[in-house]
Structure 1
Amino acid sequence: MKIRDLIIGAAVGFAAGYAVKEACAVKTVSPEKALKHVKSNVQNQIPVSGSWIHMNPEHLEKNHLQYDVYRGGLSSTEEGQTKQLDFVVDAKTGTILELDKQ
């Protein structure tokens, strides 16, 4: 066996292992993208004047299901009054799980 064949085999094995690792890795939506998604979904019903989101995901159990979520909030000014809304977004998919008025 030539050393060149051994090096090529090791390189191909390393590349295949890396490709499989990347394909299987759990990816999350960035907090900025999640916030943008929430704002775009509620903009038609509520005029959003401010927003915030926690940058670190946290664990949540809801209806016996486990989620990694981002928590955040929106501010809306309607009829001269500022109203606050809290939201919870799934960190893996960006799906809005909760949207509550305070």
Structure 2
Amino acid sequence: MKLKDYMMGLGTGIVIGIIASQAASKMNFNRSAELVLSDIKKSFKEEGPIDGSWIYMSPEPFQKEAISLHVYKGGISRVKNGELEQFEFAADAKTGTVVDLVKV
């Protein structure tokens, strides 16, 4: 009887695990906007100091050619060679990858 109870518990645990993993894979998990901005700032800091940065905290739909996804939009400013440079970016909300960068 104890082996039967153990096997039923093990089977139930496996089934619940499979259902939970399938449900988690269907959910939409985004990286936090703060982490995305931090990664972008690190990339810019490799070329020199930055003056300021900003990011919208909620993802927005983005369409460019055949690409359609949700992005965080933001910007970075820095002084390079004595001149102010400003950039606006769009970064994929799931991965943090910059998909669009424009010098303003």
TM-score by length of 2: 0.75
Q: Which residue of 1 aligns with 2:22?
A: 20
In structure 1, the gaps of 5 or more residues are none
Q: 1:84 aligns with which of 64, 81, 86?
A: 86
Q: 1:41 aligns with which of 40, 43, 47?
A: 43
Q: Secondary structure at the match of 1:37?
A: helix
Q: Which residue of 2 aligns with 1:51?
A: 53
Q: Which residue of 2 aligns with 1:97?
A: 99
Q: Which residue of 2 aligns with 1:30?
A: 32
**Comparing 74-83 with 48-57, which one deviates more in the overlay?**
74-83
**Comparing 44-53 with 5-14, which one deviates more in the overlay?**
5-14
Q: Distance in 1 between matches of 2:22 and 2:48?
A: 43
Identity in percent: 31
Q: Secondary structure at the match of 1:34?
A: helix
Q: Distance in 1 between matches of 2:96 and 2:36?
A: 5
Shift of 1:27: 1.8
Q: Distance in 1 between matches of 2:92 and 2:80?
A: 28
Q: How many residues align?
A: 101
TM-score by length of 1: 0.77
Q: Which residue of 1 aligns with 2:76?
A: 74
Q: Secondary structure at the match of 1:48?
A: coil
Shift of 1:79: 4.6
